[in-house]
A and B are shown apart, each in its own frame.
Chain A
Amino acid sequence: MNDSIVKIERAVVSYREDVALRDVSLEVKRGEFLGVIGPNGAGKTTLLTLINGLGKLLQGHVWVLGQSISRGSVNGIRKKIGYVSQLQNIDPRMPINVREVVMVGRYGQLGLFRRPIKRDHDIVDRTLELVGMSHLASRPIGHLSGGEQQRVAIARALTQEPEMFLLDEPTASLDWRAQRELLELIKIIHEYQHLTTLFVTHDLNALPDICDRVILMKNGVIWGQGKPREMLRTDILSQLYDAPILIQEHQGKQVFLKAS
């Protein structure tokens, strides 16, 4: 457990009749950038929810940040984990602005009955600047584009001053430019803030190239794992997705195509 930040042992998660995770074991090292890929319904999101305690464990054990996940420990653990889900549908008339949304990240740290002080406002200012959203700080959150909303979600997660970053399809339903910019931002944040990052995606082209390890999930099990160059191969991916996949090199980067 020395440099392990997450340890999952023989985890089983079930939603009514459907088993979402079957006997899954995984260890994540501090500072690692882990990509989790697989088709829809493979159990990728469930794996993340096990780590931040939002998922219900039927069997097995989960340790996060050196603590076993339990009813008593889960709230404290969540405060140290930044979680960004895929783009949410926000009512454009919602009476909350960008700065307030980012401040939500501080609320868990502050705890009940305590109001944000100067330090909290400074953290929010710095984070908004980091993600390039300072100029939109007083805009209603629902007025932002999808890419901007995701930057705000990342800022909100960062104001928690997290030790770990869980990203669940953060680039889904964004246009190509917004995807590319968000992936760049995620890379910068991971490197400069020395975080441990778990990045879930079903879209192979959205997988950041700084992944240290790739986890392949299918039907609720870890179907394979290893270094990106070992795992991201035509034969392996075609089997994983049950569809022929081609890989082409473009300017030193792998581009994944669905073969017709």
Chain B
Amino acid sequence: MDLSILGYQFMQNAILAAFLGGVACATIGVFVVLMGMSFIGVCLSHAAFAGALLGVLLGFDPLLGAFLFSLGTAAIIGPLASRGELNLDTSIGVLFSLMLGLAFIFMGLMSGPKTEMLGLLWGSILTVSRTDLLLLGIVSAAVVGLVLLFYKEIQAVIFNREIALAVGIPAGFILYGILFLTGSTITVSLSPIGGLLIFSLIINPAAAAYQLTYSLKKMFLLSAIFGVVSGWIGLLASYLFDVPSGAAIIVASSLIFGVATLFSPKRKVKRWKAKDEPSRVL
């Protein structure tokens, strides 16, 4: 195998972006998987996509648009999730469809070539800019740092939000923090990973880690490892088979999930033996 490609700056940037994006997305994924917020993640990634398109349409930084839209949506979802009022799934469904509708309107209003729009949709880790890398680095460091700093509160909120609140933990503040981090991670991953594909990189590594451990610390660690490995395998496959990098990353993460599920100790059923049978009185 010719590995001279690794000597190129664009490939080194891509490897670093896959590392940073993998860590941030997979760490966020642990919250999303354990708190049953999968749909929230989909909604936020589409909001970021719509916001970025608005930026392209009106001529301001797409990243700013993505940031405002995803955090704005998180700010609407937060109180709904926290108060338990309205049906959360229904409310998120309405927001999700609104974001998708807005994205299509913004696309329809665009004139000329739609290369930049397609770039946001599919992502292009091989052309990641220095700014993208810097932002990914900042958000990844913030995600890991905040998880370490608020680990005990996060653990309590993941276990049961009502109990966390009842023992005096500011559970609402932690929930909003998690949504804010999710929105930020999605925003900075939009350009390298892509609006449509980012969600798999959030869910799959965490879902794979969930299959393998009963320890939350190990789950965070395994999820981050799977996220990074997915990114690197995807990049390699993209180079070897000349397929889109974002899509290859997602297929790699899905394969890791499949293998983890196959070998999951949580799926094993204890073999029944005759001596296990309880004694009968009658």
- The smallest beta-carbon distance between B218 and chain A, in angstroms, is 8
Binds B, one of A87-95, A181-189, A192-200, A201-209: A87-95
Residue A44 interfacial (CB < 8 Å)? no
Contacts of B214 in A (CB 8 A): 93, 95-97, 140
Contacts of A103 in B (CB 8 A): 152
Residue A213 interfacial (CB < 8 Å)? no
Beta-carbon nearest neighbor of A153 in chain B: B163
A76 and B167 alpha carbons, distance in the complex (Å): 9
Residue B155 interfacial (CB < 8 Å)? yes
Contact code string A35-56 (vs B, CB < 8 Å = 1, else 0):
0000000000000000010100
**Interchain CB contact under 8 A, B149 and A94:** no
**Interchain CB contact under 8 A, A94 and B159:** yes
Dominant secondary structure of chain A at its interface with chain B: mixed
**Interchain CB contact under 8 A, A104 and B210:** no
Contacts of B165 in A (CB 8 A): 54, 78
Contacts of B218 in A (CB 8 A): 95
- Find B166's partner among A52, A96, A97, A141 (CB 8 Å cutoff): A52
- The smallest beta-carbon distance between A254 and chain B, in angstroms, is 29
- The smallest beta-carbon distance between A231 and chain B, in angstroms, is 29
**Interchain CB contact under 8 A, A115 and B213:** no
- The smallest beta-carbon distance between B270 and chain A, in angstroms, is 12
- Find B160's partner among A75, A88, A115, A160 (CB 8 Å cutoff): A88
**Interchain CB contact under 8 A, A83 and B166:** yes
**Chain A interface size range:** 20 to 34
Contacts of B152 in A (CB 8 A): 103, 107, 110, 115-116
Residue A85 interfacial (CB < 8 Å)? yes
- Find B167's partner among A78, A96, A116 (CB 8 Å cutoff): A78
**Interchain CB contact under 8 A, A95 and B213:** yes
- The smallest beta-carbon distance between B172 and chain A, in angstroms, is 11
Chain A residues 93-139 with CB under 8 Å of chain B are 93-97, 100-101, 103-105, 107-110, 112-113, 115-116
**Interchain CB contact under 8 A, A104 and B159:** yes
Contact code string B161-195 (vs A, CB < 8 Å = 1, else 0):
01111111110000000000000000000000000
**Interchain CB contact under 8 A, B163 and A104:** yes
A225 and B167 alpha carbons, distance in the complex (Å): 29
**Interchain CB contact under 8 A, B168 and A108:** yes
Dominant secondary structure of chain B at its interface with chain A: helix
**Interchain CB contact under 8 A, B156 and A104:** yes
- Find A104's partner among B34, B164, B219 (CB 8 Å cutoff): B164
**Interchain CB contact under 8 A, A93 and B266:** yes
Contacts of B168 in A (CB 8 A): 75-76, 78-79, 108-109, 160
Residue A156 interfacial (CB < 8 Å)? yes
- Find A108's partner among B149, B155, B159, B167 (CB 8 Å cutoff): B167
Contacts of A108 in B (CB 8 A): 167-169
Chain B residues 46-68 with CB under 8 Å of chain A are none
Contacts of A76 in B (CB 8 A): 168
**Interchain CB contact under 8 A, B162 and A104:** no
Residue B9 interfacial (CB < 8 Å)? no
- The smallest beta-carbon distance between A154 and chain B, in angstroms, is 12
- Find A95's partner among B149, B163, B170, B210 (CB 8 Å cutoff): B210
Beta-carbon nearest neighbor of B165 in chain A: A54
Contacts of B216 in A (CB 8 A): 95-96, 100
A109 and B153 alpha carbons, distance in the complex (Å): 12
Residue B279 interfacial (CB < 8 Å)? no
Contacts of B213 in A (CB 8 A): 95
**Interchain CB contact under 8 A, B219 and A54:** no
A107 and B152 alpha carbons, distance in the complex (Å): 7
- Find B153's partner among A81, A95, A112 (CB 8 Å cutoff): A112
Contacts of B164 in A (CB 8 A): 104, 107
- The smallest beta-carbon distance between B173 and chain A, in angstroms, is 9
- Find B155's partner among A83, A88, A93, A96 (CB 8 Å cutoff): A96
The residues of A with any CB-CB pair to B shorter than 8 Å are: 52, 54, 75-76, 78-79, 81, 83, 85, 88, 92-97, 100-101, 103-105, 107-110, 112-113, 115-116, 140-141, 156, 160
* 8 shortest interchain CB distances as A-B pairs: A108-B168, A79-B168, A108-B167, A83-B166, A78-B168, A140-B214, A104-B156, A95-B216
Apart from A75-B168, A100-B155, A108-B168, what 4 extra A-B contacts exist at CB < 8 Å?
A: A83-B166, A94-B159, A96-B158, A113-B149
**23 CB-based A-B contacts, threshold 8 Å:** A52-B166, A54-B162, A54-B165, A78-B165, A81-B166, A94-B34, A95-B210, A95-B219, A97-B215, A100-B155, A104-B155, A104-B159, A104-B164, A105-B167, A107-B152, A107-B153, A107-B169, A108-B169, A110-B152, A112-B150, A116-B152, A140-B214, A156-B163
The residues of B with any CB-CB pair to A shorter than 8 Å are: 34, 149-150, 152-153, 155-156, 158-160, 162-170, 210, 213-216, 218-219, 266
